[in-house]
Structure 1
Amino acid sequence: MHIRVDDLTGSDIIQLLREHLQGVAQHSPPESIHALDLDGLRRPDITFWSVWNDGQLMGCGALKELDRRHGEIKSMRTSAAHLRKGVAARLMQHILEEAGRRGYERLSLETGSMEAFAPARRLYARFGFVMCGPFAGYVEDPNSVFMTRAMQATMPT
């Protein structure tokens, strides 16, 4: 697997992000959707990566800088053709390493509370994320789960 910074202009990544937004919309009411569109992901405070293998897009994810010490994981998605191949775990490891290089003390994320998001919540828990309250302008929402992780926590092997 090869992870690279992506400029969000390729047709494969645009299609995967469309699928991501459609999937979120399928399981979440509009007022509870916090996924970013292409323009939102192109902001200067966001680094976006794509995961490739033999010319095939396997997944994507992003890291948003909330402040000098706190980052937020955004837009984690594995292509349907590559589920359960370790794509999300490899990308999570990459994001954690980058957050460490940046000197972040904390990483946080928002995901859905519905059953469709259970695999994502299990992945995040495996990497040391625990439930927390809303952060960075989010508000309590029964359709959202907020998770955070101190960067000093150990990562799974």
Structure 2
Amino acid sequence: MIDIRPDDLTSSEMADLISVHAATMLAASPPESCHFLPIDGLRQPAVSVWSMWEDGALIGCGALKDLGDSAGEIKSMHTRQVQRGRGLGRQMLEHLLAEARRRGYTALWLETGAMDAFIPARGLYEAYGFTYCGPFGDYSEDPHSVFMTFAL
């Protein structure tokens, strides 16, 4: 059974997972085009993080950043490599969508990579109705980034 729960980012397991996420992003994108939040960035008050567990093992995570004006940004969606292909990303995305609706958000935004390594992520977001858009917030145009939005 999959358990998705709020995470306080204090466990060594979560620190390891966030490090793996960072390394994965840096392996696929130029450093100046990587917009992942390091663990300290995930600890800011505007960010809520959830961890995904199965049989006592941490297998994934996801986060929402409150952008104000009833909008949020999806951050730090990551599933361990050995767990991919099981629909866990869909489960986390559904959890984040439900939480965004519970909070009364009217829109969600995200940034992901434009390279082939990010095709599965973009496909997941497209399947849920996210559409491509220009940069938002503090982001700027970048050939290595793709921006998407979703009206709730």
- Shift of the alpha carbon at 1:53? 0.9
Aligned-partner residue type, residue 78 of structure 2? R
Q: Distance in 2 between matches of 1:68 and 1:132?
A: 18
- Shift of the alpha carbon at 1:75? 0.4
Q: Distance in 1 between matches of 2:63 and 2:69?
A: 16
Matched, 1:33 2:34: yes
Q: Distance in 1 between matches of 2:106 and 2:33?
A: 27
Q: Deviations over 1:123-147 (max 9, x none)?
A: 0111110100000110000000000
Length, aligned pairs only: 151
Q: Distance in 1 between matches of 2:18 and 2:116?
A: 21
Q: Distance in 2 between matches of 1:150 and 1:47?
A: 20
Aligned to 2:6: 5
Q: Percent identity?
A: 52
Regions of 4+ moved over 2 Å:
none
Q: Deviations over 1:47-101 (max 9, x none)?
A: 0000001101110000000013110000000011211111110010000000001
Aligned to 2:106: 105
Q: Distance in 1 between matches of 2:31 and 2:87?
A: 30
Q: Distance in 2 between matches of 1:27 and 1:80?
A: 14
Matched, 1:18 2:10: no
Structure 2 residues not aligned, in runs of 5+? none
- Shift of the alpha carbon at 1:120? 0.4
Q: Distance in 1 between matches of 2:119 and 2:17?
A: 20
TM-score (norm 1): 0.94
Q: Deviations over 1:99-136 (max 9, x none)?
A: 00111000000000000011000001111101000001
Matched, 1:63 2:45: no
Q: Distance in 2 between matches of 1:56 and 1:25?
A: 25
Structure 1 residues not aligned, in runs of 5+? 152-157
